[in-house]
Amino acid sequence: MRAKSLLAAIVCGIAACSQAPAPPPPAAKTAPSTPATPAAPAPSVGIDLSAIDHGVKPGDDFFAYANGSWVKTATIPPDRSSTGTFFEVFEKAEKQTSDLIKNAGASQPAAGSDARRIADYYAAYMDEAAIDKAGLAPLKSSLEAIAAIKTHADLARVLGSRLRADVDPINATHFHTENLFGLFVTKGLEGASSNMAYLLQGGLAMPSRDYYLSTDKAMVGFRDKYKAYVVALLKQANIAPADAKAAKILALETKIAQAQESLVDSEDPHKANNVWNTADFAKQAPGLDWREYFKAAGLDQVKQVDAWQAKAIAGLSALTAREPLDAWKDLLAFHTLDNAAPLLPKAFAELHFDFHEQALQGTPQQRERWKRAVAATNTDLGDAVGQLYVAKYFPASSKHEVQALVKNLVAAFDKGIDNLAWMAPETKAKAKEKLVTLHVGVGYPETWRDYATLEIEPDDALGNHQRAVAFEYAHQKAKIGTPIDRDEWWMTPQTVNAVNLPLQNALNFPAAILQPPFFDPKSDAAANYGAIGAIIGHEISHSFDNTGAEFDAQGKLDNWWTPADAAHFTAATDALARQYDAYEALPGLFVNGKQTLGEDIADVSGLTAAYAAYHLSLDGKPAPTIDNLSGDQRFFLAFGQDWRSKIRDAALRQRIATDVHAPAQFRAQTVRNIDAWYAAFDVTPGEKLFLAPEQRVKIW
């Protein structure tokens, strides 16, 4: 889950309505009517008391206080780049879905059923002998098409045929796959009533442009390792001369990186509002034969496309005409191998792991094959597995309780808007309209994807994945020009994450994140509001962060702020960006406060709303003291333990370069902007996190 984009803001990458009276928390039962009825059990504290490091002052480092004892003993699994609370929940979901996937074929399901597809997909992925026997045969047609390129029109046709849909809302504005462009389909920025095609920049095999352009010593080192990987992969495929071709590939990708726009610029919706007639692409972005490109991509009947990163698209197009065809052919052949390597014979898969996981993220050991098979099945047959997951692991009672939490959070947000002294009445009215029309999906979608036309074979692992990718592209392409579906989900129920969709004014909270330690119906309300409540508040807040504040209640790009309100908002958010600029992730490597600003706003605002909602849930009654902790202390500790994490240095460096979320340890320090935290832990001047009241960032 792994960065928030303009099209979708998420809680964390592992990677999180109407007003109503606040109901009492689940633990606050009424007294039994007769002595014979047993009393309701006392709620559990809902936080990990053993994780707390009492040798650290909360006011010096709240992350270390809440999690320090855990950090001292926690070990990152050898097949992972990080571990922590999100990984703990991910492991639960992985085990749950693996049982469902492995057992899908136990009852000999009928051919053409989703259960049969799940069983056959998993079986094919696990059949290493068949994969080794197939060799590079599944790529034969793709490699032959690349080798046959003789003209720039041929290049355009091959590039167009490789266009694929970016259906991951986490990275929607920064298409990281090796295809030169990516397609995203959703509502138009100007509030159109139908879906529009967006063209996004791509073309790089490494995680971001920084890996090609940065002068940082570590980044230069990654480039050396990347070139060695390119050489090794080409040699494994018997493509010669590997060294010379690798040099050309790295040189061309470096030019692609130079043409791309930065992550910060990619998040500006005003820079992204570039609706071009497809017939005008040749004039707007000369170089590529756009007529042949769109025809090969199946988009020749589409009249308009939004060029999300217009400068990058023009720059990439110019490169196709300026750079030699042989360089493009080498690049495309390498990208074809690199993209398919995990499902090619063992030698290819190991080379891919050695670079992408071990070198780039510091992960020493490949995940067991069954784990990779489960992840791939969840990706390519997500809704089919999701239906099984919801039926077994997400009862209606959990859905109802989370919906009650959401109502309390929305009510708290609404009340918070009323209390904003600096905001003009007309701006408040627009903000409240967004809350009233906010569409919240909890657990799972109302309608499921139909996989009837997707062919899955029990002995064709790479072919299954290729057909699933093509199936998804066809699905997304078919949406262009159709009416908006506000009920559309962008995550599967078994995903441990959550998402805000500004263009739909909607939220998705998948079932898998709605389990302990984030949410437990048996836990004290303070823990649930501090953990899942802050996540829910975070997602609601994305509707009002530096991106969400640009969109009105109908999801239209519209400035609904008065000039004075906009100036106040900008001043507050600039102060928050400076606060995060000061956080040093690794020696000499600091957080980019502008890059993480939307997520940081959502953390502050979401925690503020969750705290207010927690007190609404008490219905005027005092919070109980549990394990010598007050309700407020438990609330903030639950939030701090949301971000319990340990990460390898290489992976942390990658996140700083590519992620719009601040590292977890700094997200836990969000508490320093909340007045109630100071009282709860007796934080005083001189302690490292202390901020004078006028320095605490208050936005919503």
Give the integer Cα–Cα distance in Å for 66 and 62: 6
**Nearest alpha carbon to residue 511 among 535, 493, 489:** 493
Average pLDDT, the chain: 90
φ, ψ for residue 209, nearest 5 deg: -60, -30
Q: Residue 42 has what pLDDT?
A: 53
**Model pTM?**
0.89
CA gyration radius, the chain: 25
Per DSSP bridges, beta strands 9-10 and 499-501 are antiparallel
Between residues 8 and 344, the one the model is more confident about: 344
Q: Residue 629 has what pLDDT?
A: 96
For 189-246, what is each residue's pLDDT tens digit? Answer: 987 789 999 999 999 999 999 999 999 999 999 999 999 999 999 999 999 999 999 9
**H/E segment holding residue 97:** helix 85-102
* Band (168; pLDDT cuts 50, 70, 90): low
Q: Residue 548 has what pLDDT?
A: 83
Model confidence at 21: pLDDT above 50: no
In sequence order, which residues have a C-beta less than 8 Å from that of residue 201 and are 6 or more positions away? 174, 175, 181, 182, 259, 260, 261, 266, 308, 309, 312, 313, 316
From residue 493, alpha-carbon distances to 203, 376, 542 in Å are 30, 15, 21
Give the integer Cα–Cα distance in Å for 91 and 99: 12
Q: Which domains does the chain have, with CATH numbers?
A: 138-343 (1.10.1380.10), 397-438+525-695 (3.40.390.10)
Give yes or no for a contact between 600 and 632, defined as CB atoms under 8 angstroms apart: no
Model confidence at 504: pLDDT above 50: yes
Model confidence at 656: pLDDT above 70: yes
Q: Residue 167 has what pLDDT?
A: 62
DSSP code, position 542: G
Q: Residue 293 has what pLDDT?
A: 98
Model confidence at 321: pLDDT above 70: yes
Q: Residue 191 has what pLDDT?
A: 77
Of how many residues is the chain composed? 700
Q: Residue 538 has what pLDDT?
A: 94
Model confidence at 3: pLDDT above 70: no
Model confidence at 540: pLDDT above 90: yes
Q: Average the pLDDT over each of 151-155, 222-226, 278-282, 541-545 and give the range with the smallest value.
A: 541-545
Model confidence at 38: pLDDT above 80: no
For 379-401, what is each residue's pLDDT tens digit? Answer: 999 999 999 999 999 988 888 98
Q: Residue 176 has what pLDDT?
A: 46
Instruction: Give percent above pLDDT 90 in the chain.
Output: 81
For 627-649, what is each residue's pLDDT tens digit? Answer: 999 999 999 999 999 999 999 99
Model confidence at 37: pLDDT above 70: no
Q: Work out the average pLDDT over 46-70.
A: 97
Q: 182 has which bridge partners?
A: 164, 200
From residue 544, alpha-carbon distances to 26, 192, 443, 462, 606 in Å are 29, 21, 23, 42, 10
Tokens at residue 158, please? 């091959």
Beta strands in 268-385 (DSSP E): 275-277, 304-307
Give yes or no for a contact between 632 and 680, defined as CB atoms under 8 angstroms apart: yes
